[in-house]
Amino acid sequence: MHGGCEFTVLLDSFDVKVIERYTGGTRRSRAMTTSRRVSFRSTLIGWMVVSTIVIRGEPSHAAPPPLLTVGRVRALVVSPHPDDATLGASGLIQHVMLRGGTVQVVQMTGGDGFPKGVTTINPHVAPTADAYRWYGSVREREAIRAMRQLGVHRSQVRLLGFPDGGLCELASTNRTGPAYASPYTRRESPPDTEQLVRGTMYRGDDVIRELARLIQEFRPTLVVLPGSADEHPDHCATHLLVHQALASAVGAGSPPPRVLHYVIHYPPWLSEQRVRAGGGASADTGTSDWQWRTLTLQASEQAAKRQALKAFHSQMLVMPDFLKSFAGDSELFVEGEPELPIPCWCSGVNIVGGTRVVH
Ligand SMILES: [Zn+2]
């Protein structure tokens, strides 16, 4: 079973202990199975609001969400890990190019912090920093091959080389000052070949500078990125970092683009039921500030997406059902943000705070 989760909430005055137990066998960072102690009522209220939103977004047999219409755009698609853009937006990417638009895909990390993935390939060897680095390069090549299946040329894929499993740290405690050191690769900076700005380190401000540079150079009219409701810390951190980079780029004169969010780790709709149903995504239309959009994939687009998913050999070894569950006849996107920010948990701390992200 994939994507399932259970929440247990124990109230002790205003002190709330939230224990999450994820029952999915999918990739989870160390922050995904954790005991969280928070001490502000506002955080609890925020969590309850999120629960309400999640419930509203459960798969439903009601009218499908409004169809997504996208014209000839310049689409910047941001992927926290090498497979996310393919999982969440293969159809959209093809849709844009078929209409004469342009796509640029940005890989935030090489997916190099995935112990289960490394040990699946080499089960008898304790993973070393070199093994994690090698694994990241394998996954980056898989992403490039997947994009080729969708018609995206290598020159349209940018690898940024930030730390898998560490993006939420960069978005919070490692914004400035000493660089974050990946416990997997032992790196403190992206490989030289993946730095847009020479001297980029594993710091949040450096991530934002890199992303803002990309936005200013590419001048997207559409940005596609993970949704704030995505439960993976790297994903919601990417959401925060990209929105901050957008604000920076727009502040420097870039035209504000349309923004769409895809969701990968979102148990209410990424359910076993959905997998059994053949992967068709569905959800209700959410709140007025948080609208689902659905993109229907043509048969040829579905076939290309299935081919692209096959490029991820290393992930197919670990979570084949999870990947295949995205090979349905539609893709879902969220436009807008909920009224209150959705928490992004990073080692037990909500790094969103009370500030609503710019969108
Ligand atoms: Zn991911």
Mode of pairing for the β-strands spanning 258-262 and 222-226: parallel
CATH of domain 7-356: 3.40.50.10320
pLDDT in tens, the chain (359 residues): 332 222 222 222 222 222 222 222 233 333 332 222 222 223 333 333 333 333 334 444 455 677 888 889 999 999 999 999 999 999 999 999 999 999 999 999 999 999 999 999 989 888 999 999 999 999 999 999 999 999 999 999 999 999 999 999 999 999 999 999 999 999 999 999 999 999 999 999 999 999 999 999 999 999 999 999 899 999 999 999 999 999 999 999 999 999 999 989 986 654 444 443 444 444 444 455 678 889 999 999 999 999 999 999 999 999 999 999 899 999 999 998 877 788 899 999 999 974 444 44
Determine the distance separating the centroid of ligand 1 and the alpha carbon of 265, expressed in angstroms: 8
Determine the distance separating the centroid of ligand 1 and the alpha carbon of 80, expressed in angstroms: 5
Question: Given this model, what pLDDT does residue 8 score?
Answer: 24
Determine the distance separating the centroid of ligand 1 and the alpha carbon of 13, expressed in angstroms: 36
pTM exceeds 0.95 for this model: no
Residues ≥6 apart with Cβ < 8 Å to 12: none
Question: Given this model, what pLDDT does residue 124 score?
Answer: 85
Question: Given this model, what pLDDT does residue 179 score?
Answer: 97
Determine the distance separating the centroid of ligand 1 and the alpha carbon of 166, expressed in angstroms: 12
Determine the distance separating the centroid of ligand 1 and the alpha carbon of 165, expressed in angstroms: 10
State the sign of the Cα–Cα–Cα–Cα dihedral 206, 238, 53, 38: negative
Determine the distance separating the centroid of ligand 1 and the alpha carbon of 301, expressed in angstroms: 22
Using the CB atoms, write b or e for 105-125: b if 16+ within 10 Å.
Answer: bbbbbbbbbbbebbeebeeee
Question: Given this model, what pLDDT does residue 1 score?
Answer: 30
H or E, element range at 331: strand 330-336
Q: Strand, helix or coil at 340?
A: coil
The DSSP result for 113-132, as a single string, is --HHHHHHHSTTS---HHHH
